[in-house]
Structure 1
């Protein structure tokens, strides 16, 4: 396994390449199926989303970042996220790509239905 990237080696261009590769991985047919199945099983339940969708999305991201020297675990994800956050402050494209990546982890917010009036 490659050594963990040093800050000086993690350039905006490298971050952009990795983010684009992660997003491409989310759009591979097998990964689309894995995510769709997890989302279907989670429904609109936020807790189920965290239990079912989040781990699948995390695994897809880890599969990409480990190829760039990050540990293939939660620690590697945290390192990558922190480095990207630092770079996105000065690079709009990285900020945009990172925002797009977050959509895979954060479920769409569906407003609750108003209570049905049972009297009648």
Structure 2
């Protein structure tokens, strides 16, 4: 049997995120709670207001804020380095096939990264 050169890394990463951990208020719950905290929510709301309907401004102001929060939270759960968010999201995507609740939690996190469509104050 051929051993993968990064077997230990892959095993450690897989052990850091399981369906039960994510559901048990672990990584995703921690991320959602952090994003919903008064301090972070105020920063994100201010950045969204400043960006308005301008997608470029949204990507300059809001996206980096949310990405930084995600990076800080997932680091607490063992995901380090430049590609940590990518590795986390890939593993999450693989696990979503196993659990609809995980899909819903992931969607809630993605809503922070994407602009809100149809904002009534823009009508």
Same fold per superposition (TM over 0.5):
yes
Give the superposition deviation at 1:15. Answer: 2.7
Cα distance, 1:88–1:97 mapped onto 2, change above 3 Å: same
Runs of 4+ in 1 over 2 A off after TM superposition: 3-6
User: Partner of 1:91 in structure 2?
Assistant: 99
Instruction: Give secondary structure in 2 for the equivalent of 1:103.
Output: helix
TM-score normalised over the length of structure 2: 0.80
What is the aligned length? 109
The alpha-carbon deviation at position 71 of structure 1 amounts to 1.2
Structure 2 CA distance for aligned equivalents of residues 19 and 72 of structure 1: 19
Structure number with greater Rg is 1
Instruction: Write the distance in 2 (CA, Å) between the matches of 1:62 and 1:15.
Output: 16
C-alpha change, 1:22 and 1:72, in structure 2 (3 Å) is farther
Are 2:63 and 1:66 aligned?
no
Aligned to 2:20: 13
**Displacement, 1:22?**
0.3
**Higher helix content, 1 or 2:** 2
The answer for unaligned runs of 5 or more in structure 1 is 114-120
| Distance in structure 2 (CA, Å) of the matches to 1:21 and 1:92 | 18
